[in-house]
Amino acid sequence: MKNPLLNTGEIGIFALGGLGEVGKNMYIYEIDDQIFIVDAGILFPDEHLLGIDYVIPDFTYLIENQDRIVGLFITHGHEDHIGSIPYLLKQVEIPKIYASGIAVDLIEYKFMEHADIKVPQIEEYKSYYKYHFKDVEISFIRMNHSIPDMFGIVFRTKEGILFHTGDFKIDLTPVGPPCEFDKLAAIGAEGVLCLCSDSTNAERDELIQSDSKIGKSINELFSRLTGRIIIATFASNMYRIQQIIEAAVLNHRKIAVFGRSMERAIEAGTQTGYIKIPKDTLVSGDQLKRLRPEQVTLLVTGSQGEPLAALSRIASGSHRQVQVMPGDTVIFSSSPIPGNQEGVNRTINKLFKQDVNVITHGPLADTHTSGHGAQNDLKLVLSLTRPKMFIPIHGEYRMLRHHRQLAIDTGVNPDNILIVDNGQVAAVSKNSIRYAGDVPSGEVYIDGTGIGDIGSKVIRERKLLSEEGLFSIILSVDSEHKKLINHPTIISRGFIYMRGNEELTNKLANETKAIVETELNKKFYNEQNIKQTVIDQLSKTIFKLTQRNPLIIPIIVDSKSF
> Which has the closest alpha carbon to 98: 151, 48, 47?
151
The mean pLDDT of the chain is 87
Q: What is the pLDDT of residue 50?
A: 47
% of residues, the chain, pLDDT over 70:
91
**E strand segments, 510-558:** 551-558
Residue boundaries of the structural domains of the chain: 11-206+370-451, 211-359, 469-561
The more confidently predicted of residues 319 and 35 is 35
The two domains 11-206+370-451 and 469-561 share their CATH topology (first three levels equal): no
pLDDT, one tens digit per residue, over 126-135 is 999 999 999 9
Range name among 118-122, 463-467, 514-518 with the lowest pLDDT average: 463-467
Sign (positive or negative) of CA dihedral 501, 504, 508, 513: positive
Residue 194 pLDDT grade (very low, low, confident, very high; cuts 50, 70, 90): very high
Query: Given pLDDT bands bounded at 50, 70 and 90, which one contains residue 202?
Result: very high
- The top-scoring range by mean pLDDT among 173-177, 384-388, 550-554 is 384-388
**11-206+370-451 in CATH: which number?**
3.60.15.10
Q: Domain 211-359 is classified in which CATH homologous superfamily? A: Metallo-hydrolase/oxidoreductase (3.40.50.10710)
Active site (annotated) includes residue 78: no
Buried b (16+ CB within 10 A) or exposed e, 143-164: bbbbbbbbbbbbbbbebbbbbb
Express as a percent the part of the chain with pLDDT over 90: 49
Reported pTM: 0.81
Looking at per-residue pLDDT, the higher value among 304 and 53 belongs to 304
List CB contacts of 405: < 8 A, sequence separation 6 or more.
none
3-state secondary structure 145-203: CCCCCEEEEEEECCCCEEEECCCCECCCCCCCCCCCHHHHHHHHHHCEEEEEEECCCCC
- In this predicted structure, what is the pLDDT of residue 455? 55
Could you read off the pLDDT of 12-33 as tens digits, one per residue?
A: 999 999 999 888 999 999 999 9
Annotated catalytic, 368? no
Name the pLDDT band for 533 (thresholds 50, 70, 90): confident
State the sign of the Cα–Cα–Cα–Cα dihedral 320, 325, 329, 335.
positive
- What is the β-pairing status of strands 121-124 and 130-133? unpaired
pLDDT, position 28:
97
469-561: CATH topology is Ubiquitin-like (UB roll) (3.10.20)
Mean pLDDT value of segment 294-313: 86
Q: What average pLDDT does range 269-284 have in this prediction?
A: 88
Higher pLDDT: 70 or 324? It is 70
Distance CA 140, CA 130 (A): 8
Count the helix, strand and coil residues of the chain and give each as a percent rounded to the nearest 5. 35, 25, 40
Among the options 171, 198, 366, 447, which is catalytic? 198
Tell me the mean pLDDT in the region 330-336. Answer: 83
Strands annotated E in 353-493: 357-359, 389-393, 424-428, 433-438, 443-447, 450-451, 470-478, 483-484, 489-493
* Given 76, 372, 394, 403, the catalytic residue: 372
